[in-house]
Structure 1
């Protein structure tokens, strides 16, 4: 339904239904806080209560009976030399790994029954780890979770969501429930793409130089355009012709109604890849995703145009998501497929501190499931260097402090985080490249040989502004500045890690094509490979930085760094490495 702000309407909770009794009833009044915001999150304003007849679909994620099993399996199938390498799991095998204890599933259902949630409105997926409650009246959701759902609007984008600032769960369940959504996670508001060499509000000469725009630095001989022909030449994919086009799929995810235009794609290919003017894609609409290609958006056109120019004629699917929680809705959809796409590009991010830990952990576990099934998932690292503005961060308790701000889902250890570069001869860091260290997620083992070296050389600089034990981002970085696109039959130029991410995804998709066409498994989760045997197939980026938070940010140095990661991709060297196993 369409939400309208109401300032005085109150929502009264239903009481427990008198006809329902369970042996667990005494459990339900002993409640524990699951997550609470001390105040309305930044850039959101309260519009009041929703209309009385408003309903909501709730997703309840239960923890697995063996919480380590999924990650153990992911690392096994992703590690060259392991006996199970490349033996990616089926939907049913993953569901078995993430299934909750049977008694916890029974207890959760008893709790829902106690509050009048009829079993016919509950669907169970992913081994019982994900319960979806369809069409729950907001008043009942408030009682169930001791919540206060209200409407909130983003002050910059006008996106409107139904959320609560806190929720509680019964003590008997709170440690066994990973997350309930939507609750306190406010979502992914639209973020305008940066025009080339422009920070928000314009750029001075010095800022332009910092972004790599000094004459002679950024492709000046090509009028500073990063075109498909340049990218294919620079990353050495020009001579490769895909052959597993009926078996290899590249997925592009579009949130919040973002959608591409086939007419704009046709014009783009005519101008930039005349041998592939027949390029097309399919659209899958999920939960109200856009269906009007006559009203395309920057983000969607950018991703479809550049992935098409790199991987044509490989199959491409655009997943169009509407409202609600688009990230969870997409993961719910794709994980329920019998066959998943081998490569996925997702150019969206949000400051990690704005994402509740329980929500972030749930999403990260779902992304790990996708990796275990053989998908290479790439997420952009953000466009604000180490952080935007003064980086004064308020935690859920209301305490504020300055800290660098990495972005989620890029910080999830089970995706490949993509930063930005610019220039050539040499290729250097783009200063907008998001990078840093996660607060939510500890450093994964595959980074144990790479990240400590950087930290040792960094010394005490920025102590207290970042988590030295956190997962480091990005993992790789590619060209991010000055991409020409076609939007509504007009030429534009954009920049950001939402440019570098589809470029990286296109190259990875070609590597998957190479693997599949030679009778081998797709790459799946990439990071074990990138930090291991594929390291020699990367171009180390050793200059530039990512300023932010009123600091110079981190510097790009030899080896891994939190600006450009391990470097950019060299397709031909990576093919040579992959041909050996």
Structure 2
């Protein structure tokens, strides 16, 4: 056993509130010694003030019919509004230093106290016992505790303790197979007869997005892709290969939060390669969060120069958020705290985008279609995110390899017949298994109520005559529905470990919309306006011409089976939302807003 000396004061405290969690069944406690000197970070989320005032401000400033539309707060003003009194913050920091004088305490976030200490220090601070926990499938090992205590004297100040109890393997909304020459027979159900997707296909065959005309204005904008669970960073060599093969301008990452670039996984390659391409010259951030959503939101809000457009391709069903990091709270309470953190960023003018999931309406909670239930995904059902579903080509191929080479003269990968890029133009249907590797997610939130801006669209769907899963568990028609919009999510080519690979998923779709938001922001900045901010109220109030309505397909299936789901139809639906972007009309509409 390892023993390390550390400085702890002898303090008599009355520990009142006990916070416990059950060990997640996928994890095993290991009977091996814990190094008391191992670094650990404890986060103490404090009770916030003026939350109702913050949410009311966000509701007004994101409403295109309001004379206050777009008049966002500064980061400092948001922090001042929501943070508890400085006297309460001082009470917490004084307690930390009394128990553990050597701990480093950061109060700059205002409503969360970040304590960098050791396992021994955290044990004394929280009256906790730490152990090693192992995930047998991934091999991941974490040092965590299953119970912490808060002194009676701080019960009115500390809302939750986090970053020390979470045991979770997050899910990326993406599936992949090796890319193969176009004429080679596949030994799976994946259908890619229409050809592969590269950024130029998205611009020219689908969404009419200008390229060179937007490079100057996009330089005024900023975007970030976010990964979780400490996954590998991006690979510069893979990015270079992708740019060379597809004819894109060299990817330049402005700022990295988390591990430095090096090795990459499929999700990381997809996100950075397509975000960079779609956002053109925007300032590009790459963010890896070690833990989960609450930690990310807190750290994002601490950045004075945080990007205006954010893409998150990760998610998990709402009732399973306690598998992540609830720490004595219910899943709903955890989500409510996260919602406030995201609202703080929206109050600054941030646009958030999230994948709607790859397991259809059954979702991750019913991925094997064991019954007729459906499930949701968070943050894809957040009130402050634009939830993005996926489409695929309809199969009505309008050209061949020769025409594709003509359509994309600056994209070498489309030439020579090894890979057939989808020729322009193309039509789309909902992305679904077995024609695709995934099925686009959609349905209702299990936690969050329906926002006012969505009610008219949902009423239209409910009265359209489509069959509804009225008796299915997980179906809450009075709650928030998703997705809001869609983009292609099938047959994307990425460069990974020196090879080309096909990926499918709503992980493809979310960076596309985030990149489009960056272009819209760049356009607004060039006009002397502020960022567009949270897009949902703007999109639901937009004329139908700004979208291509996707009216074919359903999301009954997961990635491997079929169960209960929803049908696409005319207008908004819980399969592809309002539709895919018609960029010229969308840009014109955004231009008309103050």
**Any residues of structure 2 matched to 1:178-577 within 5 Å, and which?**
178-189=159-170, 191=172, 193-195=174-176, 208=189, 213=191, 220=193, 222-223=194-195, 225-233=196-204, 234-238=206-210, 240-255=213-228, 256-273=230-247, 276-286=248-258, 289-292=259-262, 295-321=263-289, 323=290, 325=291, 327-356=293-322, 357=331, 358-387=333-362, 391=366, 403-424=373-394, 426-431=427-432, 432-455=439-462, 458-459=467-468, 461-533=470-542, 536-546=545-555, 547-548=557-558, 551-577=563-589
Query: Residue in 2 aligned with 1:397?
Result: none
Following superposition, the deviation at residue 419 of structure 1 comes to 1.3
CA 1:387–1:155: 2 relative to 1, 3 Å: farther
> For the residues of structure 2 that align with 1:563 and 1:132, how far apart are their CA atoms?
40
What CA distance in whole angstroms lies between the structure 2 residues aligned with 1:390 and 1:96? 39
Q: What is the distance in 1 between the residues matched to 2:505 and 2:431?
A: 9
Return closer, same or farther for 1:206/1:436 CA change in 2, 3 Å cut-off.
farther
Unaligned runs of 5+ in 1: 1-8, 199-204, 394-399
Note the C-alpha offset of 1:326. 5.4
The answer (yes or no) to whether the contact 1:62–1:129 under 8 Å persists in 2 is yes
Gap runs ≥5 in structure 2:
180-185, 323-330, 395-425, 433-438
Separation in structure 1 between the aligned mates of residue 510 and residue 367 of structure 2, nearest angstrom: 28
**What per-residue deviation string (whole Å, max 9, x for no partner) do you get for residues 240-266 of structure 1?**
423234421121223323322333223
TM-score, normalised by the number of residues in structure 1: 0.81
Check whether the contact 2:172–2:267 (CA below 8 A) recurs between aligned residues.
no
Q: Deviation above 6 Å: which 4+ runs of structure 1?
A: 9-12
Task: Please list the CA deviations of residues 101-155 of structure 1 after superposition, one character each: whole Å capped at 9, or x if unmatched.
Answer: 45643554465466x14396321123x30101111x4345345445443332333
| Alpha-carbon shift at residue 536 of structure 1 (Å) | 4.2
Distance in 2 between residues matched to 1:420 and 1:348, nearest whole Å: 14
Alpha-carbon RMSD across the aligned residues, in angstroms, is 3.4
- The farther-off stretch of 250-259 and 375-384 is 250-259
Tell me the alpha carbon deviations over residues 259-315 of structure 1, each in whole angstroms, 9 at most, x when there is no partner: 223332233222222xx44442234133xx1332xx222222212221222232232
| Residues 418-477 of structure 1: per-residue CA shift (max 9 Å, x gap) | 111111464211121122222232222222222344345555624433233332222111
170-179 vs 571-580, which deviates more? 170-179
Distance 1:314 1:55, change over 3 A: closer
Aligned to 1:92: 76
Seen in structure 2, the aligned counterparts of structure 1 residues 570 and 122 have a Cα distance that, compared at 3 Å, is same
Does the 8 Å CA contact 2:389/2:441 hold for their aligned counterparts? Answer: yes
Q: Which has the higher contact order (CA 8 A, sep 6+)?
A: 2
Aligned residues: 531
Task: Name the CA shift for 1:535/1:375 in 2 (closer, same or farther; >3 Å).
Answer: farther
Cα distance in 2 between the residues matched to 1:443 and 1:185: 29
CA separation of 1:350 and 1:487: change in aligned 2, threshold 3 A: same
The counterpart of 2:17, out of the listed 31, 42, 47, is 31
Tell me by how many angstroms 1:390 deviates: 7.3
Change (3 A) 1:366 1:389: closer
